[in-house]
Structure 1
Amino acid sequence: MLKDSTMWYASWFDTPYYHILYKDRNHTEASDFMDNLTTYLSLEQGEKILDLACGKGRHSIYLNTLGYDVTGVDLSKNSIEYASQFENETLKFRVHDMCRPYSEKFSAVFNLFTSFGYFDQEEDNLSTIKAIKADLNQRGFGVIDFMNVDYVIDHLVPEENKEVNGILFKIKRYVQDGYIFKEIRFRDKDEDFFYTERVKAITLRDFQNYFDKADVDLLDIFGDYQLQKFNSKTSNRLILIFR
């Protein structure tokens, strides 16, 4: 149904099938990462955190249980509508384009679980870095949790079938023109569907170039959710701490 859309992420992320396919994501791992990250950053209860590209809000909700004042934002109206049921005085969700600064200042801005590099325009990646910097208060930290491109390409599974909720998803992965593609085909209710995910293969050097252009200081680099040292060949994540 959808191929090479100029905003594929807006369409695919808004479908129920996206959430069906990825419903088994590890919530314990996500919670442990938030524990490790907030401890490392020495964030105190009551401080404000912006969860940038929050999806249905799993990280935002957990961060709020730790005592933080959390705002979750995402381009997907359906995801924000779902997440909004969990709102309280210190947890809110809003539709927002992460290329643009938000209207408040935060002690931390988190961009988690490879929620970067989707844009068609290269300048939007730099604009997002600049927006994160603009959203930080004087002592604030930016965090981008991205895939380690070298590791992902070395361990790429070209084809895979995955059945979830009675739906057989046929997945194909490949690298082309500086992007990592995932083609997703499936049939449901007598209708065939086809979506394409595309993420720019951004390396540590690429991020460093963005940071230089945005006048951002890179403070630390980690390679997994336990915040172990980054290794370009063996780390599965690229976690960047900056301000």
Structure 2
Amino acid sequence: MENWYKDWFSSEEYFNVYNHRDLSDARLLGELILRETRLKKNALILDAACGFGRHALFFASKGYDVVGFDLSKLFLDRARKKAAESNLNIKLIRADIRRICFKARFDIILNLFTSFGYFKSDDENFSFLERSYNFLKTGGWYVFDYLNKTYLENNLEEETVRKINGVIITEKRRIGKDRVIKEIIIDYGGNRKTFYESVKLYDSKTLQKKFEQIGYKLVNLYGDYNGNSYAEDTPRLIMFLKK
């Protein structure tokens, strides 16, 4: 299960399980980012672990130059298709977040929708945060959107079952060894496929301390995509940091 993301993010089943995810959350967060950062129109944006491009597409639609990278070929192909359909130009790169480096200097780096904590060690999880400081312009922004550990621990839904087009999707969630683990069972009438998600849990103080050690300054902290203040009972931890 250590490399769960390689199997899960290269499976078409991902889109069946998360078919309810549309651009609405991406738009909400995108608008919050624009309000908070007041990006200039010529800003260069890096969308780290961009997935299938929901946020990259939003910013490209606003006229920004966007670079996105992800490990999943499936996700990148989906992002390219969506960009072409919308006549948007996004530079998309297949790369591992633990190793990628850039010579370019970005105005803002986005690490959104819990694209963090996938790896076993803290060194691996924090490696991009440390390296990315070097390819962010002085005065540039780092936006970090992650789950709220306290909220998750207090509101974990242990099991959900859905039926979509005759396919039964069961999601089992548990917390163990500082990680939240989800087992996803997809039942095609007796033919079952099982996938996993596993994200390491960090609290806000630990993350803020790490960012400050790197050199970032915390400017603002939000608890949801509507821009409400962060608290223990808000679902997200959205950090706006400056170099």
Scaled by the length of structure 2, what TM-score is found? 0.91
- Please list the CA deviations of residues 54-100 of structure 1 after superposition, one character each: whole Å capped at 9, or x if unmatched: 11111111110111101111111111122123256741111122223
Equivalent residue for 1:10, pick from 6, 12, 22: 6
Specify the SS of the correspondent of 1:108.
strand
1:19 is matched with which residue? 15
CA distance in 1 between counterparts of 2:202 and 2:192 reads 32
More off after superposition, 208-217 vs 175-184: 208-217
Gaps spanning 5+ residues in structure 1: where?
A: none
Specify the SS of the correspondent of 1:213.
helix
Gaps spanning 5+ residues in structure 2: where?
A: none
Asked if the contact 1:68–1:90 (Cα under 8 Å) also holds between the matched residues in 2, the reply is: no
Asked if the contact 2:221–2:240 (Cα under 8 Å) also holds between the matched residues in 1, the reply is: yes
Specify the code of the residue in structure 2 equivalent to 1:126.
F
CA distance in 1 between counterparts of 2:164 and 2:145 reads 26
Alignment of 1:147-226 (within 5 A): 147-188=147-188, 191-226=191-226
More off after superposition, 114-123 vs 190-199: 190-199
1:83 is matched with which residue? 79
CA distance in 1 between counterparts of 2:215 and 2:181 reads 30
- Please list the CA deviations of residues 24-54 of structure 1 after superposition, one character each: whole Å capped at 9, or x if unmatched: 1142232122012112101022211111111
1:96 is matched with which residue? 95
Asked if the contact 1:99–1:131 (Cα under 8 Å) also holds between the matched residues in 2, the reply is: no
1:109 is matched with which residue? 109
Scaled by the length of structure 1, what TM-score is found? 0.91
Residue 146 to residue 190, structure 1, CA distance change in 2 (3 Å) = same
Cα drift, residue 156 of structure 1: 0.6
1:51 is matched with which residue? 47
- Please list the CA deviations of residues 124-180 of structure 1 after superposition, one character each: whole Å capped at 9, or x if unmatched: 122121123122112210011001111111111111102234321111111000000
Equivalent residue for 1:36, pick from 32, 36, 39: 32
CA distance in 2 between counterparts of 1:29 and 1:82 reads 18
Specify the SS of the correspondent of 1:211.
helix
CA distance in 2 between counterparts of 1:19 and 1:136 reads 32
Matched, 1:64 2:23: no
CA distance in 2 between counterparts of 1:102 and 1:163 reads 43
CA distance in 2 between counterparts of 1:64 and 1:24 reads 23
Specify the SS of the correspondent of 1:114.
coil
CA distance in 2 between counterparts of 1:242 and 1:51 reads 15
CA distance in 2 between counterparts of 1:236 and 1:9 reads 23
Residue 20 to residue 231, structure 1, CA distance change in 2 (3 Å) = same
CA distance in 2 between counterparts of 1:60 and 1:164 reads 28
Tell me how many residue pairs correspond in the alignment.
238
CA distance in 1 between counterparts of 2:41 and 2:216 reads 26
Cα drift, residue 189 of structure 1: 7.5
CA distance in 2 between counterparts of 1:168 and 1:89 reads 36
More off after superposition, 151-160 vs 218-227: 218-227
